């Protein structure tokens, strides 16, 4: 799809509203997930984006983490970046979502389906974040939430946009997930680019 066709598609299939964030979660395993940059049909059309985070040497001092955001074949919004700061796969997953949602907001997209293979990310933003706040940012086991700042940033960027979080199984021949993974892995080898 050419970039101007993508822009026309966005203009036709998005609504500009000032709604507060509405997060929903559905597993992509129970049904097909739309192709990237192709909205669903119906009154509440959602644009689909695939995201991924990767970290080579995760948990070690030598770790290098990157994000991947995949909007569709040849799309100029497709992103592959290396992280600054802590180099972990979970942090990369969260910041990939932040990056994709910022892109969506800049384009005026108000309904977006974010497809990820990270149940940690989905559970964190749809189930655990309110519990963490109530528990003074402690997990159910009493430990500090390691990615507090990243989840707060994600929560903030979710404001004013309807997000439909979809779990897709990793490395399961889902084209969008495979492309986001490639972008994230490539990001691990780049010069650091995002905080």
Rounded distance between C-alpha atoms, residue 44 and residue 75, angstroms: 23
Whether residue 104 contacts residue 47, with contact meaning beta carbons closer than 8 Å, is answered with yes
Whether residue 195 contacts residue 66, with contact meaning beta carbons closer than 8 Å, is answered with no
Q: Is 149 assigned a catalytic role? A: no
Active-site entry in 66, 68, 99, 117: 117
Q: Is 134 assigned a catalytic role? A: no
Structure tokens given for 112: 């977006």
Q: Could you count the other beta carbons within 10 Å of the beta carbon of residue 12?
A: 9
Active-site entry in 28, 53, 124, 187: 53
Active-site entry in 41, 61, 106, 171: 171
Active-site entry in 52, 150, 164, 179: 52
Q: Is 193 assigned a catalytic role? A: no
Active-site entry in 153, 164, 179, 181: 181
Q: Is 175 assigned a catalytic role? A: no
Active-site entry in 93, 150, 153, 164: 93
Q: Is 181 assigned a catalytic role? A: yes
Q: Is 117 assigned a catalytic role? A: yes
Burial of 61 (0-12, 13-18, 19+ CB in 10 A): exposed
Q: What positions carry a catalytic annotation?
A: 52-53, 93, 117, 171, 181
């Amino acid at each position: 799809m050419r970039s101007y066709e993508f822009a026309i598609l966005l203009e036709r299939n998005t609504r500009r509203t000032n709604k507060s964030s509405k997060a929903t979660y559905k597993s992509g395993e129970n049904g097909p997930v739309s192709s990237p940059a192709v909205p669903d049909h119906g009154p509440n059309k959602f644009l689909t984006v695939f995201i991924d985070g990767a970290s080579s040497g995760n948990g070690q001092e030598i770790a290098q983490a990157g994000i991947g955001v995949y909007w569709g074949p040849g799309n100029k919004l497709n992103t592959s970046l290396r992280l600054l700061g802590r180099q972990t796969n979970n942090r990369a997953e969260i910041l990939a979502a932040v990056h994709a949602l910022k892109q969506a907001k800049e384009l005026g997209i108000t309904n977006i389906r974010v497809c990820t293979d990270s149940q940690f990310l989905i559970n964190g933003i749809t189930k655990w974040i309110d519990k963490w706040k109530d528990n003074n940012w402690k997990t159910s086991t009493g430990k500090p939430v390691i990615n507090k700042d990243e989840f707060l940033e994600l929560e903030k960027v979710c404001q004013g946009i309807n997000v439909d979080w979809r779990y897709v199984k990793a490395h399961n021949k889902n084209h969008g997930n495979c492309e986001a993974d490639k972008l994230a892995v490539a990001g691990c080898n780049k010069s650091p680019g995002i905080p």
